[in-house]
Amino acid sequence: MVETKTAVVAFGGNALIMKDEPGLQEAQMAHADKLAAVLLRFIEKGYRLLLVHGNGPQVGNSLIRMEESVTKVPALSLDACVAMTEGSIGFFLELSFRNALAGIGDGRDVVTVLTPVEVSAEDPRIKNPSKPIGPFYSGYRADYLVRMFDWDLVEDAGRGYRRVVASPKPIRIVNEGLVRVLLEHAAVVIAGGGGGIPVTRDGQGWRGLEAVIDKDYTAALMSEVVDAELFINLTAVDHVSVDFGMETERRLEKITVSEAERHLRDGQFPPGSMGPKIDASIAFCREKGGTVLITSVEALAEALQGNAGTLIVPDEESS
Protein backbone atom coordinates (compact mmCIF):
# COMPACT_ATOMS: atom_id res chain seq x y z
CA MET A 1 0.00 0.00 0.00
CA VAL A 2 1.36 3.43 -0.99
CA GLU A 3 1.97 5.69 1.98
CA THR A 4 -0.16 8.84 1.79
CA LYS A 5 1.71 12.12 2.05
CA THR A 6 0.42 15.69 1.98
CA ALA A 7 1.46 18.43 -0.43
CA VAL A 8 0.26 22.01 -0.19
CA VAL A 9 0.08 23.71 -3.59
CA ALA A 10 -0.08 27.52 -3.80
CA PHE A 11 -0.78 29.33 -7.05
CA GLY A 12 -2.05 32.73 -8.13
CA GLY A 13 -5.40 33.60 -9.63
CA ASN A 14 -3.49 34.36 -12.83
CA ALA A 15 -3.07 30.60 -13.28
CA LEU A 16 -6.71 30.71 -14.40
CA ILE A 17 -6.76 34.18 -15.98
CA MET A 18 -3.61 34.61 -18.03
CA LYS A 19 -2.13 37.98 -18.96
CA ASP A 20 -4.25 39.88 -21.52
CA GLU A 21 -7.14 37.42 -21.16
CA PRO A 22 -10.61 38.86 -20.39
CA GLY A 23 -11.34 36.18 -17.80
CA LEU A 24 -14.11 34.27 -19.54
CA GLN A 25 -15.54 31.49 -17.39
CA GLU A 26 -14.90 28.89 -20.09
CA ALA A 27 -11.24 29.89 -20.35
CA GLN A 28 -10.76 29.73 -16.58
CA MET A 29 -12.26 26.24 -16.51
CA ALA A 30 -9.96 25.17 -19.35
CA HIS A 31 -6.93 26.42 -17.40
CA ALA A 32 -8.21 24.57 -14.32
CA ASP A 33 -8.36 21.37 -16.41
CA LYS A 34 -4.70 21.79 -17.41
CA LEU A 35 -3.66 22.44 -13.82
CA ALA A 36 -5.51 19.35 -12.60
CA ALA A 37 -3.89 17.19 -15.30
CA VAL A 38 -0.41 18.22 -14.14
CA LEU A 39 -1.08 17.97 -10.39
CA LEU A 40 -2.68 14.55 -10.89
CA ARG A 41 0.89 13.22 -11.10
CA PHE A 42 1.38 14.01 -7.41
CA ILE A 43 -1.82 12.17 -6.50
CA GLU A 44 -0.58 9.16 -8.45
CA LYS A 45 2.67 9.35 -6.44
CA GLY A 46 0.70 8.99 -3.20
CA TYR A 47 0.09 12.61 -2.25
CA ARG A 48 -3.18 14.14 -1.16
CA LEU A 49 -3.37 17.80 -2.14
CA LEU A 50 -4.36 20.95 -0.31
CA LEU A 51 -4.77 23.76 -2.85
CA VAL A 52 -4.42 27.42 -1.82
CA HIS A 53 -5.15 29.71 -4.75
CA GLY A 54 -4.88 33.45 -5.26
CA ASN A 55 -7.70 35.58 -6.64
CA GLY A 56 -6.11 38.84 -7.82
CA PRO A 57 -7.72 39.11 -11.26
CA GLN A 58 -10.98 37.54 -10.12
CA VAL A 59 -11.57 39.77 -7.09
CA GLY A 60 -10.60 42.79 -9.18
CA ASN A 61 -13.32 41.84 -11.66
CA SER A 62 -15.76 41.30 -8.81
CA LEU A 63 -15.09 44.81 -7.51
CA ILE A 64 -15.74 46.24 -10.97
CA ARG A 65 -19.09 44.45 -11.04
CA MET A 66 -19.94 45.93 -7.65
CA GLU A 67 -19.02 49.44 -8.74
CA GLU A 68 -20.84 49.27 -12.08
CA SER A 69 -24.06 47.91 -10.55
CA VAL A 70 -24.16 50.06 -7.42
CA THR A 71 -27.07 52.17 -8.73
CA LYS A 72 -29.18 49.02 -9.14
CA VAL A 73 -28.21 46.70 -6.26
CA PRO A 74 -26.25 47.33 -3.05
CA ALA A 75 -22.52 46.71 -3.35
CA LEU A 76 -20.82 44.04 -1.26
CA SER A 77 -17.70 44.65 0.81
CA LEU A 78 -14.23 43.44 -0.18
CA ASP A 79 -14.27 40.55 2.31
CA ALA A 80 -17.57 39.36 0.82
CA CYS A 81 -16.03 39.59 -2.66
CA VAL A 82 -13.12 37.42 -1.47
CA ALA A 83 -15.65 34.86 -0.22
CA MET A 84 -17.46 34.96 -3.58
CA THR A 85 -14.27 34.27 -5.51
CA GLU A 86 -13.34 31.47 -3.09
CA GLY A 87 -16.59 29.82 -4.08
CA SER A 88 -16.41 30.40 -7.84
CA ILE A 89 -12.73 29.45 -8.26
CA GLY A 90 -13.24 26.48 -5.97
CA PHE A 91 -16.13 25.35 -8.18
CA PHE A 92 -13.94 25.47 -11.30
CA LEU A 93 -11.14 23.55 -9.60
CA GLU A 94 -13.49 20.98 -8.05
CA LEU A 95 -14.97 20.03 -11.41
CA SER A 96 -11.53 19.76 -13.02
CA PHE A 97 -10.08 17.55 -10.27
CA ARG A 98 -13.19 15.38 -10.08
CA ASN A 99 -12.90 14.71 -13.80
CA ALA A 100 -9.15 14.09 -13.57
CA LEU A 101 -9.59 11.62 -10.71
CA ALA A 102 -12.40 9.82 -12.52
CA GLY A 103 -10.06 9.42 -15.49
CA ILE A 104 -7.71 7.25 -13.40
CA GLY A 105 -10.47 5.42 -11.57
CA ASP A 106 -9.93 7.27 -8.28
CA GLY A 107 -13.28 7.69 -6.58
CA ARG A 108 -12.11 9.88 -3.71
CA ASP A 109 -13.75 13.22 -3.08
CA VAL A 110 -12.79 16.83 -3.86
CA VAL A 111 -14.08 19.62 -1.63
CA THR A 112 -13.90 23.41 -1.36
CA VAL A 113 -13.94 25.09 2.06
CA LEU A 114 -14.80 28.75 2.64
CA THR A 115 -11.94 29.71 4.92
CA PRO A 116 -12.05 32.57 7.44
CA VAL A 117 -8.48 33.50 8.39
CA GLU A 118 -7.82 35.44 11.56
CA VAL A 119 -5.72 38.60 11.43
CA SER A 120 -4.85 41.06 14.16
CA ALA A 121 -6.77 44.32 14.32
CA GLU A 122 -3.51 45.82 15.60
CA ASP A 123 -1.49 44.75 12.54
CA PRO A 124 0.23 47.96 11.32
CA ARG A 125 -0.58 46.99 7.73
CA ILE A 126 -4.26 47.64 8.46
CA LYS A 127 -3.61 51.28 9.29
CA ASN A 128 -1.26 51.67 6.32
CA PRO A 129 -2.99 50.10 3.30
CA SER A 130 -0.58 49.49 0.44
CA LYS A 131 -1.85 46.50 -1.58
CA PRO A 132 -3.07 47.64 -5.06
CA ILE A 133 -6.32 46.05 -6.15
CA GLY A 134 -8.80 46.46 -8.97
CA PRO A 135 -8.68 48.72 -12.06
CA PHE A 136 -7.09 52.10 -12.74
CA TYR A 137 -9.22 55.26 -12.50
CA SER A 138 -9.00 58.80 -13.81
CA GLY A 139 -8.40 61.60 -11.31
CA TYR A 140 -12.04 62.68 -11.56
CA ARG A 141 -13.34 59.15 -10.94
CA ALA A 142 -10.86 58.60 -8.10
CA ASP A 143 -12.07 61.75 -6.35
CA TYR A 144 -15.68 60.51 -6.60
CA LEU A 145 -14.81 57.08 -5.21
CA VAL A 146 -12.96 58.56 -2.25
CA ARG A 147 -15.98 60.71 -1.40
CA MET A 148 -18.55 57.96 -2.06
CA PHE A 149 -16.84 54.91 -0.49
CA ASP A 150 -14.02 56.41 1.61
CA TRP A 151 -11.51 54.33 -0.36
CA ASP A 152 -7.74 54.83 -0.26
CA LEU A 153 -6.47 55.51 -3.78
CA VAL A 154 -2.95 56.26 -4.98
CA GLU A 155 -1.53 57.43 -8.30
CA ASP A 156 0.29 54.59 -10.06
CA ALA A 157 3.21 55.48 -12.37
CA GLY A 158 1.18 57.70 -14.66
CA ARG A 159 -1.36 54.96 -15.40
CA GLY A 160 -4.08 56.50 -13.25
CA TYR A 161 -5.31 56.00 -9.71
CA ARG A 162 -5.77 52.63 -8.08
CA ARG A 163 -7.35 51.48 -4.85
CA VAL A 164 -5.02 50.21 -2.12
CA VAL A 165 -6.18 48.04 0.76
CA ALA A 166 -4.67 46.53 3.87
CA SER A 167 -2.81 43.22 3.57
CA PRO A 168 -2.31 41.91 7.14
CA LYS A 169 -0.39 38.75 7.98
CA PRO A 170 -2.51 35.67 8.81
CA ILE A 171 -2.47 34.48 12.42
CA ARG A 172 -4.70 31.41 12.40
CA ILE A 173 -6.93 29.38 10.11
CA VAL A 174 -10.26 29.68 11.94
CA ASN A 175 -11.66 26.33 10.71
CA GLU A 176 -8.31 24.50 10.67
CA GLY A 177 -9.73 21.44 12.43
CA LEU A 178 -12.28 20.99 9.66
CA VAL A 179 -9.59 21.31 6.99
CA ARG A 180 -7.56 18.54 8.65
CA VAL A 181 -10.56 16.21 8.88
CA LEU A 182 -11.55 16.78 5.25
CA LEU A 183 -8.01 16.12 4.07
CA GLU A 184 -8.11 12.72 5.78
CA HIS A 185 -11.04 11.69 3.57
CA ALA A 186 -10.51 13.56 0.29
CA ALA A 187 -7.89 13.45 -2.45
CA VAL A 188 -8.04 17.22 -2.91
CA VAL A 189 -9.11 19.98 -0.52
CA ILE A 190 -9.33 23.57 -1.78
CA ALA A 191 -9.01 26.01 1.13
CA GLY A 192 -7.67 29.46 1.96
CA GLY A 193 -8.63 30.75 -1.50
CA GLY A 194 -7.48 34.31 -2.11
CA GLY A 195 -5.48 34.03 1.11
CA GLY A 196 -8.70 33.39 3.00
CA ILE A 197 -11.44 35.74 4.18
CA PRO A 198 -9.82 38.20 6.62
CA VAL A 199 -11.62 38.25 9.96
CA THR A 200 -10.87 39.53 13.43
CA ARG A 201 -12.57 39.16 16.80
CA ASP A 202 -13.60 41.87 19.27
CA GLY A 203 -16.12 42.28 22.06
CA GLN A 204 -18.96 41.88 19.58
CA GLY A 205 -17.63 38.61 18.11
CA TRP A 206 -16.17 37.85 14.69
CA ARG A 207 -16.25 40.44 11.90
CA GLY A 208 -14.85 40.65 8.40
CA LEU A 209 -12.28 43.21 7.29
CA GLU A 210 -11.91 45.18 4.05
CA ALA A 211 -8.50 43.64 3.37
CA VAL A 212 -6.71 40.91 1.44
CA ILE A 213 -4.25 38.34 2.76
CA ASP A 214 -1.25 37.20 0.72
CA LYS A 215 -2.01 33.63 -0.30
CA ASP A 216 1.66 32.60 0.07
CA TYR A 217 1.59 33.31 3.82
CA THR A 218 -1.73 31.52 4.21
CA ALA A 219 -0.37 28.55 2.26
CA ALA A 220 2.64 28.33 4.59
CA LEU A 221 0.30 28.46 7.59
CA MET A 222 -1.85 25.73 6.02
CA SER A 223 1.27 23.59 5.54
CA GLU A 224 1.83 23.64 9.29
CA VAL A 225 -1.85 22.95 10.03
CA VAL A 226 -1.96 19.78 7.87
CA ASP A 227 1.60 18.65 8.63
CA ALA A 228 2.63 18.72 4.96
CA GLU A 229 5.83 17.12 3.69
CA LEU A 230 5.96 19.17 0.49
CA PHE A 231 5.12 22.80 -0.30
CA ILE A 232 4.73 23.59 -4.02
CA ASN A 233 4.58 27.26 -4.98
CA LEU A 234 3.53 27.77 -8.59
CA THR A 235 4.46 31.13 -10.04
CA ALA A 236 5.05 32.90 -13.35
CA VAL A 237 8.67 31.76 -13.75
CA ASP A 238 10.15 28.28 -14.16
CA HIS A 239 12.71 28.82 -11.38
CA VAL A 240 14.03 31.36 -8.89
CA SER A 241 17.04 33.48 -9.86
CA VAL A 242 19.36 35.93 -8.16
CA ASP A 243 20.34 39.18 -9.92
CA PHE A 244 17.12 38.81 -11.89
CA GLY A 245 17.15 40.72 -15.19
CA MET A 246 20.87 41.52 -14.97
CA GLU A 247 23.83 40.17 -16.95
CA THR A 248 24.88 38.33 -13.80
CA GLU A 249 21.49 36.59 -13.40
CA ARG A 250 21.97 33.10 -11.98
CA ARG A 251 19.42 30.31 -11.77
CA LEU A 252 18.96 28.64 -8.38
CA GLU A 253 18.31 24.91 -8.72
CA LYS A 254 18.66 23.78 -5.09
CA ILE A 255 19.39 25.97 -2.08
CA THR A 256 19.23 25.58 1.67
CA VAL A 257 16.86 27.57 3.82
CA SER A 258 19.85 29.55 5.19
CA GLU A 259 20.88 30.49 1.64
CA ALA A 260 17.31 31.58 0.92
CA GLU A 261 17.35 33.76 4.04
CA ARG A 262 20.63 35.36 2.98
CA HIS A 263 19.35 36.16 -0.51
CA LEU A 264 16.16 37.61 0.98
CA ARG A 265 18.18 39.85 3.35
CA ASP A 266 20.32 40.98 0.43
CA GLY A 267 17.23 42.29 -1.38
CA GLN A 268 17.25 39.68 -4.15
CA PHE A 269 13.51 39.03 -3.82
CA PRO A 270 11.31 42.17 -3.92
CA PRO A 271 8.28 42.37 -1.60
CA GLY A 272 5.88 42.79 -4.52
CA SER A 273 6.93 39.67 -6.42
CA MET A 274 9.13 36.79 -5.23
CA GLY A 275 9.62 38.09 -1.68
CA PRO A 276 6.45 36.66 -0.04
CA LYS A 277 6.99 33.30 -1.76
CA ILE A 278 10.53 33.00 -0.40
CA ASP A 279 9.48 34.29 3.02
CA ALA A 280 6.66 31.72 3.21
CA SER A 281 9.00 28.98 1.98
CA ILE A 282 11.52 29.81 4.70
CA ALA A 283 8.80 29.64 7.36
CA PHE A 284 7.71 26.22 6.10
CA CYS A 285 11.24 24.82 6.03
CA ARG A 286 12.00 26.14 9.50
CA GLU A 287 8.74 24.97 11.09
CA LYS A 288 8.22 21.63 9.33
CA GLY A 289 11.64 20.65 8.04
CA GLY A 290 9.99 19.98 4.68
CA THR A 291 10.93 20.67 1.08
CA VAL A 292 9.70 23.56 -1.09
CA LEU A 293 9.44 23.48 -4.87
CA ILE A 294 9.02 26.79 -6.73
CA THR A 295 8.28 26.62 -10.45
CA SER A 296 5.64 27.42 -13.08
CA VAL A 297 2.61 25.36 -14.06
CA GLU A 298 4.17 24.82 -17.49
CA ALA A 299 7.47 23.53 -16.05
CA LEU A 300 5.99 21.42 -13.27
CA ALA A 301 6.21 18.16 -15.20
CA GLU A 302 9.90 18.81 -15.88
CA ALA A 303 10.43 19.80 -12.26
CA LEU A 304 9.13 16.38 -11.21
CA GLN A 305 12.04 14.90 -13.18
CA GLY A 306 14.52 17.28 -11.54
CA ASN A 307 14.98 19.28 -14.75
CA ALA A 308 13.27 22.52 -13.74
CA GLY A 309 12.26 24.55 -10.74
CA THR A 310 13.99 25.62 -7.55
CA LEU A 311 14.14 23.39 -4.46
CA ILE A 312 14.52 24.90 -1.00
CA VAL A 313 15.59 22.31 1.56
CA PRO A 314 16.52 22.29 5.26
CA ASP A 315 20.21 23.02 5.95
CA GLU A 316 20.92 19.42 6.94
CA GLU A 317 19.83 18.21 3.47
CA SER A 318 22.28 20.41 1.55
CA SER A 319 24.46 17.53 0.38
pLDDT digits (tens, 9 = 90+) for 222-231: 999 999 999 9
Say yes or no: 201 and 138 in one domain.
Answer: no
Residues 14-21: contacts with CB under 8 Å, at least 24 apart: 14/54, 14/56, 14/57, 14/236, 15/53, 15/54, 15/234, 15/297, 16/53, 16/57, 16/58, 16/89, 16/92, 17/57, 17/58
Q: Do residue 286 and residue 221 come from a single domain?
A: yes
Query: Do 12 and 139 share a domain, yes or no?
Result: no
Instruction: Look at residues 165, 189, 218 and tell me which one is the last residue of a structural domain.
Output: 165
For the question of whether the overall pTM of this predicted structure is more than 0.75, the answer is yes
Where does a domain end: 112, 143, 165?
165
Whether residue 231 is found in the same domain as residue 313: yes
Claim to verify: residue 181 and residue 154 sit in the same structural domain: no
- The reply to whether 229 and 289 lie within a common domain is yes
Residues 243 and 109 in one domain: yes
**pLDDT per residue over 82-111, tens digit each?**
999 999 999 999 999 999 999 999 999 999
What's the pLDDT at 148? 82
Q: What's the pLDDT score for residue 149?
A: 82
Strand 291-296 versus strand 230-235 pairing type: parallel
What positions carry a catalytic annotation? 13-14, 131, 215, 277
* Same-domain status, 285 and 243: yes
Clarify whether residues 19 and 63 are in a common domain.
Answer: yes
The total of structural domains in the chain comes to 2
Residues of the chain with pLDDT under 70: 1-3, 317-319
Looking at the structure, tell me whether residues 155 and 260 fall in a common domain.
no
Per-residue model confidence (pLDDT) at position 1: 41
Asked if 148 and 197 sit in the same domain, the reply is: no
CATH of residue 79's domain is 3.40.1160.10
Its domain, for residue 80, covers 5-120+171-317
* 252 and 295 belong to one structural domain: yes
Q: Which helix (H) or strand (E) holds 139?
A: helix 139-149
